[in-house]
Copies of this chain bind each other. A is one copy, B any other.
Amino acid sequence: MANTDSVKVRVLSLNCWGIRYLSKQCPQRYTMIGDMLCKEEHDIVLLQEVWSEKDYLSLKKKLACSHPHSHYFKSGVIGSGLAIFSIHRIHDTFLFRYSLNGYPYMAHHGDWFGGKAVGMAVLNIGSLTANVYVTHLHAEYCRDKDSYLPHRVVQAWELQQFIRHTSAGADMVILGGDLNMHPEDLGNRLLRSYTGLQDAYLETAKFDGCEDGMTLIADNPFINKKELCPFEKGIRIDYILFKGSFKTDIYCDYMSTTKGSVPNHPFPYSDHEALTAGLRLETHTQTQSDRQPKIKDSAAGKLAALVDIVTEARTEVKVGLHCAEGMRYTATRTGVMGLALLVLELAIAAVPWLALGTEQPFPRTSFYLLAALCFAILLTTFLLYIFYTMELKALQGAEDQMRLAVGSLQEKLRGFPLAQPHNAPRRPPEGHEPSALAPEE
């Protein structure tokens, strides 16, 4: 039962807003970020929106001494923008690309081209294995009418699946990133309650930073205040989450955020605030069976809450399905109209030619322009049809998985008020802290 070991880990997460030539003061800010990381020597640095590999490579060069281990996750057309720097050796990496990520034709939003994903790195911190995740979910451009909500919910669903399934062997799980979700948003609740991850801001013993832990604040000079409306002061959308395992307890000793400016510098590191968390791991010799009763007490309530959350997520995905079906139908109808127009045009052009010989009443210029338009419509609607079909498949797939999960959770729940069902005591938990799913079966 006695604690045998204590390990401290300092984690930083920052959305770097690193769009070359478009983000303001980009090179200067990278210089500032590099200097700060070099000086602060966090154990683990989780960066998002490092869109250019060149910027990653220059950071890597600069941090060669302080953070000798790093990984840049490549994905999509531009890249995932995700990078990890670490003092501890990275033994293994893995990337999961979200199945949904906006629309390629919404080029001004750019999310689709970024190939949003969650990157995982396996580190050894002393004798412990840490699974470190970094991610960046689809942005929210309009909270009232958020057409990307189903995509973000599916991303949160896949993120929790990925973390849950890949972290069974880890002593410590850390997730940092820009989730683009407010603390109590559906995707955030889904992620936290399914994985059992704890929010560093809520768990920290000491906090120094923006009011309510906000990470996108009106005081930041790069922020357009209108875009924050109706949240005048700002919002909290960047997080550091963590959990231990059956053999480690993990605590957040302190947490801090930057406050919209950096002392002795004319502007901040980014349009987002940087988050720093000081985590402390305590290893214990306690066995799984010692801890089991404590887990059971709270598990029924957690399971019931989880069923509600997954059901809510399912509803949101169904809204997305309905919407995608509508879009595909519109694309199909437009395609059919394009085809009909082409046939009509050919008929008008061909019939007099067939009937009257050399005379051609259809003006050539109009004929070719109209034909080009028809072909453009046909090609565009065909591509859109393919795209929406893929979107539908991904949404249906997530919905199926959620339905199955709800069924499985409900079955577990049924066993709770009574004595444990016949197969409950046979299998120990998968090795984790009281997440709602881990303890039983």
Contact = CB atoms under 8 A, between A and B. Distances in A.
A369 B371 CA distance: 10
A46 to B, nearest CB: 17
B408 A89 contact: yes
A95 B390 contact: no
Nearest to A95: B397
Contact of A405 (B77, B92, B128, B405): B92
B393 A74 contact: yes
Interface stretch (A162-170, A198-206, A229-237): A162-170
A71 interface: yes
A365 interface: yes
A261 interface: no
Interface stretch (A249-257, A286-294, A348-356, A424-432): A424-432
A397 B120 contact: no
Contacts of A171: 427
Contacts of A441: 91, 124, 129
Given A99-B75, A423-B126, A92 B404 contact: yes
A441 B124 CA distance: 7
Contacts of A148: none
Contacts of A89: 408, 411
Nearest to A368: B368
A97 interface: yes
A145 interface: no
A267 interface: no
Interface string A50-82: 000000000000000000000111111101000
A319 interface: no
Contacts of A394: 74-75
26 contacts: A74-B394, A74-B397, A75-B394, A75-B397, A76-B393, A77-B390, A92-B165, A92-B405, A93-B400, A95-B99, A95-B397, A95-B401, A96-B96, A115-B393, A126-B423, A126-B426, A127-B423, A127-B427, A129-B430, A166-B166, A168-B169, A168-B431, A169-B169, A169-B430, A365-B368, A371-B372
| 7 closest A-B pairs by CB | A127-B426, A168-B169, A368-B368, A74-B397, A169-B430, A168-B168, A165-B166
Given A90-B404, A94-B161, A96-B96, 16 more contacts: A75-B394, A75-B397, A76-B390, A77-B386, A77-B390, A79-B393, A90-B408, A93-B401, A94-B401, A95-B99, A95-B397, A129-B427, A166-B168, A364-B365, A364-B368, A379-B379
